Chains A and B, each alone.
Chain A
Amino acid sequence: MLRARSLLPLALGLAGMIGAAAPPVKVGATLPLTGSEARIGGFFKEGYELAFEEVNKAGGLQVGGQKMNVSLTLLDDTSTQATAVSLADRLVNADKVDFLLGTYSSHLIEAQSTVAEQYKVPYINGGGGATKIFKRGFKYIFGTISPVELLGTTLMTWIDGQQKAGKLPRPAKIALLWENTAHGKDFRKGVSDHVAQSKGAYTIAVDESFALDGKDFGALLGKVKAAKVDLFLADAHLPDYITMHRQYVAMGLCHKVVSYGARGSEKGAIEALGRENVNYVLSGVWWSAQLAAKPGPSRDFVNAFKARYGGREPEWFQALAYQSAKTLFTAIQQAGKVDREAVRQKLAAMKQGSLLPGGTLEFPAAFGQQAQNPFVLQQNLPDSGAPIIYPPDVATGTGVAPNPNCGK
């Protein structure tokens, strides 16, 4: 006991000598750790924390000749906008953080980023993909998350290929269902813009929005059923995907292509819906753990993540959170000082290797400093999980269309 006590000051002193002499770089963030987005808020937290631990373990950031540790002040915004704003205010003005990382989901980010812009604090987020956020002419917000519009476009590009190969009818009738949020509207725009330019290859027979956290999609699906469409393209968050698809299956619906936008291969969904009911569902995501098949940043990340979190595989949420934090660190090192304006300029000019599909991360001014990396399409297949089927250079499997389940 005595010995332990006498060792304590020594240990502290050592830690002080080993650790950076300079005060740490203070980064603040809020995440929805309770409330409707709590699950995903937890994923983002994992990504952020991993990035911070890695840097500190490696002795901190090299900032203008000295090593500096990084500290993260993380608060819970309870998935509500007013709270996300007030807490960002608190982080900047009371906790005096140097930089901000973003929360999750578009409407919280749109509200919260106003604080960052107001006090001129660089704000990097990987959780708000709506283009609207980046069309306000803000100079301090940076998005590592590509626009949802691009997801719709990528999906349609793959479908084009299948149609040209004669696997899907031409013209094909589409049911387009989108959640009434900025996310859903972007998806809708991506798909319908593509349809408009397709010279009659597609018609949109159902174009309906639904409320986030919907209870009952029976009537909506009834409309889809009556319209006798070929392609079922929806954009939903996870709980709505589960509720809607459960009703979809129970109503005996089946379409040649089925997609719920970014959802489809989640473990939770497969458990809730049953493996056989989610087969052939197509999903487009910002990142997939399968990108680790080739050596590179994705593989490094997956290995580090598995080592830190008991062998669990990360999803795109953790990857984008991790990448956002890493990008901030890179910019701070490039700037060589803990200065908001200098870091902002480095971020705006950034062109850096990343774990995102496409490899390079930049924040083009033409897109309001939102990254424009491609999506990867995955398809749930009966025996091989959910391989990447598009784009071809990273594909780990071959996509199937039309859905072989129909007509069984």
Chain B
Amino acid sequence: MERFIDLAVSAVLLAGLYATMAYGLGMIYGVLRVVNLAHGGVIMAGAYMGWVLHGRLGLDPYLSIPLVVGASYLLGVGMYKVLVRHLPRGAAGGPASLLLLFGFWLVLRNAAYLLFTGNDQSITTTWSTRSVALLGTHISATRLAVLGVGVLVPLGLHALLRHTHLGRAIRAVAQNPDSCTLVGVDVERIYTITFGLGTALAGLAGLLSATIFAFNPGSGSGELLKSFVVVVLGGLGSVLGTGIAALILAVVEVFAILVMPSYLTAAVGFIMLVLVLVIRPGGLFGHRVLG
């Protein structure tokens, strides 16, 4: 029983991070129909931003959230304006956008290599190893904080999409960009903002995961694939869907150790990804759009 609670707690803690990671990817796909293959690279970049702010300026990673989010947003806006905007949209843009953003990912990886070498890094603060006793088990304080952010941020975004003018415009563009142009919505601007927001979320996810896990310039592919699983499972931009999907992924991953050797549990996410894609090929990303 104690073991079960331990595992369940780890799963819930992990789910918050997964939700944050995936939400940005889903948002960009939902509005622009572009699969951001550089998502993993941005997550890695976010981790390094937090690491630099902590190492050079001594800034606590949770205080540097606004800075990292802001910088990632600008990175996203840049990516959109310089790269993504010039792609053909729709089905024809599929492989091209994939390769383009993949190229950008390689550039990011290389830049990180040159700047920070290939060594593993992690953000360690005085409370990295603190823990809180709860439900008869020890819970890492950092992980609890990550869960908190992971719940609050998607909820905040949800509120933004629901209740602001900008949010309504984004949802409208997601549903039908052509008619939006007709009624005078600046679709390009909405695309730029959405790409920026999605990227900002990826940067945030990178910062959060850097406080728990080690990372290096090659990090990000696992995170990218996990984000896919969550988006595909949970539907597009639905906060509840993303949350549930993140929880499912985390639970399956964590509980897998009960039935298989620890080494193979890393494959569970990948296998789930393929299964989910194959089993739900039609409504891959769900039919609900940003609601």
| Inter-chain contact A209/B263, CB cutoff 8 Å | yes
Contact with A along B1-22 (1 / 0, CB 8 A): 0110011001000100000000
Task: Decide yes or no whether B257 CB sits under 8 A from chain A.
Answer: yes
- Quote the shortest CB–CB distance from A36 to chain B (angstroms): 6
Q: Which of B26-75 contact A (CB under 8 A)?
A: none
Q: Compute how far the CA of A274 lies from the CA of B254 in the bound complex, rounded to whole angstroms.
A: 27
| Inter-chain contact B138/A36, CB cutoff 8 Å | no
| Inter-chain contact A210/B124, CB cutoff 8 Å | no
Which chain B residue shows the least CB distance to A248?
Answer: B129
- Quote the shortest CB–CB distance from B252 to chain A (angstroms): 11
Task: Decide yes or no whether B130 CB sits under 8 A from chain A.
Answer: yes
Which chain B residue shows the least CB distance to A41?
Answer: B118
| Inter-chain contact A249/B257, CB cutoff 8 Å | no
Q: List, in ascending order, chain A residues with CB within 8 A of B3's CB.
A: 222, 225-226
Residue from A216, A242, A252 within 8 A of B14 (CB atoms):
A216
Q: Compute how far the CA of A210 lies from the CA of B257 in the bound complex, rounded to whole angstroms.
A: 11
- Quote the shortest CB–CB distance from A295 to chain B (angstroms): 36
A222-B7 in contact given A243-B122, A250-B130 (Cβ < 8 Å): yes
| Inter-chain contact B118/A34, CB cutoff 8 Å | yes
A209-B138 in contact given A36-B118, A215-B214, A250-B131 (Cβ < 8 Å): no
Q: Which of A225-267 contact B (CB under 8 A)?
A: 225-226, 238-239, 242-243, 246-247, 249-252
Residue from B118, B140, B214, B256 within 8 A of A219 (CB atoms):
B256
| Inter-chain contact A225/B216, CB cutoff 8 Å | no
The size of the chain B interface, using a CB distance under 8 A, is: 40
Q: List, in ascending order, chain B residues with CB within 8 A of A171's CB.
A: none
Task: Decide yes or no whether B142 CB sits under 8 A from chain A.
Answer: yes
| Inter-chain contact B257/A38, CB cutoff 8 Å | no
Q: Compute how far the CA of A208 lies from the CA of B141 in the bound complex, rounded to whole angstroms.
A: 27
Q: Compute how far the CA of A35 lies from the CA of B124 in the bound complex, rounded to whole angstroms.
A: 22
| Inter-chain contact A273/B2, CB cutoff 8 Å | no
Contact with B along A311-350 (1 / 0, CB 8 A): 0000000000000000000000000000000000000000
Which chain B residue shows the least CB distance to A180?
Answer: B263
Q: Would you give 20 A-B contacts (Cβ < 8 Å), ordered by A?
A: A34-B117, A36-B118, A36-B216, A208-B263, A211-B263, A215-B214, A216-B14, A216-B213, A218-B254, A219-B262, A222-B257, A226-B6, A243-B213, A246-B124, A247-B140, A250-B128, A250-B143, A251-B140, A273-B129, A274-B126
Using CB atoms and an 8 Å cutoff, list the residues of chain B in contact with chain A. 2-3, 6-7, 10, 14, 113, 117-120, 122, 124, 126, 128-131, 133, 137-138, 140-143, 212-214, 216, 218, 222, 253-254, 256-257, 261-263, 265-266
Given contacts A208-B262, A210-B263, A250-B142, 9 further A-B contacts (CB under 8 A): A219-B265, A223-B257, A223-B262, A239-B214, A242-B122, A243-B214, A249-B131, A250-B128, A274-B129
